[in-house]
Amino acid sequence: MVTLNRRRTIVGGLVAAAGLVGAVAWTWASPEEREIRAIQKRLKSFARDVSFAGGGSPIQRLSYPSQVVDYFADPVQFQLAIGPWNSRGTVIQTRAELQEGTTAYRASSKGLKVEFLDIAVTLEPSLTRATAHLTSTVHFVGDADYWVQEFRLTLIKESAVWRIQALATVRTMEQ
């Protein structure tokens, strides 16, 4: 009888261990899934960092442009057609131009709040290039309304960091 109980205990332990190994293997993310999650996390961080309240200390105002520029590759293709820039469509091609633009906007604006509602990522087989489609809400502080805008981004992986190589607004409805 003692031997039978020990066998049941051993068999039960092996079944539990096999179940645990199976659960871990099931939830373990593939390299593609890990990269997609990293891109989504990076883009959500970008939305937080691009947002700012009016005012702030001089140090905060000076650090804002460099924070934003760090998310972009160089050269960058940046085509923005939203809010105050909707009619003309701003085109930026280098990080230096982007930094100049963010410095000027930060100095003259009351604030900006950006939120990404959904981020769909398509990863290329090389795992070093991806395309992201997302919907955002953009609120220019001082305006009564907010803008809902779709964006298409091309990202590249440089030195283990995902950077935006191209960003463009997607025009879903023309007037």
Average pLDDT value for residue range 49-64: 71
In a domain, 79, yes or no: yes
Would you say the C-alpha torsion 22, 26, 28, 31 has a positive or negative sign?
A: positive
User: Does residue 96 sit within a domain?
Assistant: yes
Q: Which domain holds residue 90?
A: 31-170
Instruction: Estimate to the nearest angstrom the gap between the alpha carbon of 140 and the chain centroid.
Output: 20
* Angstrom distance (rounded) from CA 57 to CA 2: 75
Q: Higher model confidence: residue 27 or residue 1?
A: 27
Q: How confident is the model at residue 114 (pLDDT cuts 50, 70, 90)?
A: very high
Residue 87 has pLDDT above 50, yes or no: no
58: pLDDT confidence band, cut at 50, 70 and 90? low
Q: What does the mean pLDDT of the chain come to?
A: 81
Work out the angle at residue 145's Cα, subtended by the Cα atoms of residues 141 and 150, and round it to the nearest 5 degrees: 95
pLDDT(103) > 60: yes
**Cα–Cα distance measured from residue 100 to residue 106, given in angstroms and rounded to the nearest whole number:** 10
Helix (H, G, I), strand (E, B) or coil at 70: coil
Residue 81 sits in a domain of what CATH number? 3.10.450.50
Of 13-17, 87-91, 101-105, 134-138, which range is least confident?
87-91
Q: d(Cα 157, Cα 30) in Å, to the nearest integer?
A: 17
Q: Which residue has the higher pLDDT, 30 or 19?
A: 30
Residue 24 lies in a domain: no
Give the burial class of 146: count Cβ atoms within 10 A of its Cβ; 0-12 exposed, 13-18 middle, 19 or more buried. Answer: middle
Return the closest-CA partner of residue 152 out of 125, 119, 103.
119
- Tally of structural domains, the chain: 1
For the full predicted model, state whether its pTM sits above 0.85: no
Query: Rounded distance, CA 159 to CA 123, Å?
Result: 17
Residue 168's φ and ψ, nearest 5 degrees, are -145, 140
Q: What is the pLDDT of residue 171?
A: 75
What pLDDT, on a 0 to 100 scale, did the predictor assign at position 133? 97
Specify if 127 maps to a domain: yes
Count of residues in the chain: 175
Residue 129 lies in a domain: yes
